Structure 1
Amino acid sequence: MKRNAPTWLVPVAAIFALQTIAAFLSRLIPIIVPAISAEFGWSGSSIGYLTAGNALGGLVMLVAGAALLRRLGGTRTLQLTLILGAACMALFVYPSVHVALAACIAMGMSNGAANPAGSEVLQRYSPPGKRNLMFSIKQAGVPLGGILAGLLIPGIIAVAGWRVALCACAVIVLLPTALTWRLSDTIDERRPGVSGRPWYALSLHSLRSLAVPLASLGHNRGLLNISIVGSLFAVAQSCWFAFTVIYLVDSLNFSLSLAGAIFAVMQLGGVLGRIALGWISDRLQSATATLSLAAIFSAGTTALLGFIQPDWPLWTILLLAFVAGCTAASWNGVQIAEVARRSPPDLVSETAAGSSILVTFVNIVAPSAFAIAIASSGRYDLAFLCAGVCSLLVLVFLPRDGR
């Protein structure tokens, strides 16, 4: 059946841009909070809780916003959550970690909308034989958002302070949202049978059906296993994202600008790694082999991060960050594409949301547990070592296709 739709390039470009900005909105938290906490006297471990709050916002969107995604369309919903996140950045000027936590929850809603929206659009528009690559290109927007945050925010803070940096971040979020606003009418596909009901009624119905996305993962064992794989990968990734900057600043006495640059290098590895892993997976026709390789390197780099010494040459730390970005932060595109491939065609949005719920739940628990471990023991090395072990467990749960 023919569709009156743009070519595949337009949806991929629009989703890529919005995915990048959604990631930027989340990645600014572990970079800008050290400067805010220094002024307001918050503890260093507060970053873990604020990062967990950001993930909680994504989880709220995944479990309660499914009806909104159906009613308004994925792209439009993502745009609206980005606007909300930009507005809530103003709450950081109030010297309360609880208010900041509320802001982080609201800012995280865009991440909850990004994966279901992107999966549904790309599943319809990806060229045959290039689905893994298209999903990986879309997911490359996540570390690209981290690169923008790591390079721009510390510089703005050094020159004009963190309040001006927040204003600049709001502009960065709102501009691409405005540029892609009219495209959503063409890209989005609304489900039949829901257009006659108000969105709030659909959302209330969704609140009574929170188990639907998770239940959809039980359609087959391989689908459930590949979703568990994503949650295991998320442990190391969330710890890298949340604690790299504060770890380098507090434990190794790096400047915020240098720590931000190292964070950006790690995110650059994520951009290249996600595209490379997607291309390799398509060439090998095996997500299992690709994700196995990523798991091994993720475990090694994460464990080694906790044993960095201040006298290490800078290039070794940059290399470690880059390799971690290529592996610990690059599994997403292949894993999400595999979830879509194993999903029934009429449940792609639900299984993408279900898999994202598992990953998002880990993104809440892992940074919180990491923060508690650091606050109680002061040992970053053991905490990163435990996160690396979780990456090795990926090898146990990866489904085997017999290839």
Structure 2
Amino acid sequence: MSTDIIPMNEYVSSQPEVSGRPEWVKALILMTCVQVAATLSTLALTALAPEVAASLGIGAHWIGYQISLIYFAGVFASAVAGSVVETFHAERVVVFEMGAFAVGLLLLASAQPVLMVLGSALFGICYGLNNPASSEILNRTARGGRHSLIFSIKQTGVPLGAVLASVTLPSLAVLFHGAQDGWRLALVAAALVPLSLMVWSWTRFSFAPVRRGAGRGNPFRRAAQDQAELYRNDRLRTLAVLGGLYSALQLVATAFTVVMLVEHGWSLVAAGAVAAGLQLAGAVGRISWGVAADRLGGFRTLGVIGVLAGAIMFSLGWIAVMPGWAQAVLLVALGSVATGWNGVFLAAAARTAPEGKVGANTGALLVYTFIGVIIGPSVFALVYNVVGTYEQCFMLFSAIGLVGAVLSFRQAARGRIEK
């Protein structure tokens, strides 16, 4: 780590605290809140899609294009994240992204299509920078073999942010229904969350001077160099493939649960409750897998996750003959593994990074995670058009988890696991 990085006032110090909470707890609280705000912002329009579509006179299915735009922008932001974090430092990036998320929500609230597209692209840029910056900060404070647990707790901000968006924003839209386009006021209210965190983090961080030469010229050339370094490292290559495979698996599990249950006779409300249970199980699973990874090692834990996710998805081939309670239990169990891998993955990325390049390494790896998010659901939809049933699609996609397990256990067998 470069010596010219000035630590945060309260979140990073060169020595452990003598009394009070450990320093990593303070960093973790802030980074988890930042993750909640990032997810809340990114999914805000999704939570309000019917209201927004009716107001703008478009089909609700257009929300799919907005999500694709966000993740497409995230690919490029992740690719250059190493140069950005190294030049401006992680603390400054976190403050910027919180302010940018607030601006993006206000752009969505404008109800002007061009501005809404710009706001969505801004979300993707910020989301692509978020994990590299937060990983840099958390990696400095993680001690006592708790890397995987710390990163996994931070990643619970994803389902928590999703639940917050799904519950509060529609309620706010109804509350403001007396006003014209209540959904716009709901988005303005949501902007207060990242805006507050921007102010909070600004008061807690100390900022090092910008390292103007750190980016070494063209950021895209630097991104190409980061990718070349990734491909030269066997562990990083494995993590890149795992990120693409497991992110595709996660999006398939979360995106098609409701439609599959409705196809098998569930009401929309009941199917939605199961989907919410899947998300909450993912939050619990992230913490549990983080604890396991600190004991078993990251790659071995990722292998176990792949085996379980593959086995559960394969068993969904017989969901049509299962009682309703068994269907719900199986899908909630799938959520605990298929959406619980992220923290272990990010901790492994930080632990395998070259000295001083946690942000760059995380950004380079997350390129493949974003690609998996973009490609996975689309390929699933194409397969569905061929085979005709969700059960068979899930059975075929179970191979993704099993392939990930083989790659993980192979890497573990080589004795190159972070402990």
What is the TM-score of this pair, normalised by structure 2?
0.79
Question: How far off is 1:99 after superposition?
Answer: 6.1
Gaps of 5+ in 2: 14-22
Change (3 A) 1:70 1:107: same
1:137-187 superposed Cα distances (whole Å, 9 cap, x missing partner):
2222222212222332344445545334323322233223322222232xx
- Identity among equivalent positions (%) equals 27
Cα distance between partner residues in 1 of 2:73 and 2:208: 24
1:230 aligns with 2:230: no
Tell me if structure 2 keeps the 8 A contact 1:30–1:241: no
Residue 136 of structure 1 corresponds to which residue in structure 2?
152
Question: How far off is 1:86 after superposition?
Answer: 2.7
Tell me if structure 1 keeps the 8 A contact 2:32–2:153: yes
Q: Identify which range, 258-267 or 225-234, moves more after superposition.
A: 258-267
Tell me if structure 1 keeps the 8 A contact 2:159–2:279: yes
Tell me if structure 2 keeps the 8 A contact 1:216–1:347: no
Question: How far off is 1:211 after superposition?
Answer: 0.9
1:42-70 superposed Cα distances (whole Å, 9 cap, x missing partner):
253x4443222111222222223433322
Tell me if structure 2 keeps the 8 A contact 1:23–1:141: yes
Cα distance between partner residues in 2 of 1:158 and 1:307: 40
1:252-305 superposed Cα distances (whole Å, 9 cap, x missing partner):
6745x6665444322221221111101111122x22332122113323445667
Gaps of 5+ in 1: none
**What is the correspondence of 1:58-137 to structure 2 with a 5 Å cutoff?**
58-92=74-108, 100-137=116-153
Residue 356 of structure 1 corresponds to which residue in structure 2?
366
Cα distance between partner residues in 1 of 2:259 and 2:112: 19
1:179 aligns with 2:200: yes
Tell me if structure 2 keeps the 8 A contact 1:52–1:367: no
Tell me if structure 2 keeps the 8 A contact 1:32–1:153: yes
Cα distance between partner residues in 2 of 1:306 and 1:82: 42
Change (3 A) 1:93 1:132: closer
Q: Greater Rg, structure 1 or structure 2? A: 2
Cα distance between partner residues in 1 of 2:356 and 2:162: 33
Give the one of 45, 52, 58 matched to 1:41.
58
Cα distance between partner residues in 1 of 2:353 and 2:190: 37
Give the one of 188, 194, 211 matched to 1:167.
188
Cα distance between partner residues in 1 of 2:271 and 2:50: 11
Give the one of 252, 266, 285 matched to 1:273.
285
Tell me if structure 2 keeps the 8 A contact 1:120–1:349: yes
Partner-residue secondary structure (3-state), 2:413: coil
Change (3 A) 1:111 1:259: farther
Residue 297 of structure 1 corresponds to which residue in structure 2?
308
Tell me if structure 2 keeps the 8 A contact 1:266–1:323: yes
Q: How many residues align?
A: 391
1:368-396 superposed Cα distances (whole Å, 9 cap, x missing partner):
44566678998555554444332222023
Alignment root-mean-square deviation, CA: 3.6
Tell me if structure 1 keeps the 8 A contact 2:151–2:290: yes
Cα distance between partner residues in 1 of 2:261 and 2:305: 24
Cα distance between partner residues in 2 of 1:150 and 1:19: 16
Change (3 A) 1:360 1:345: same
Give the one of 217, 224, 228 matched to 2:230.
217
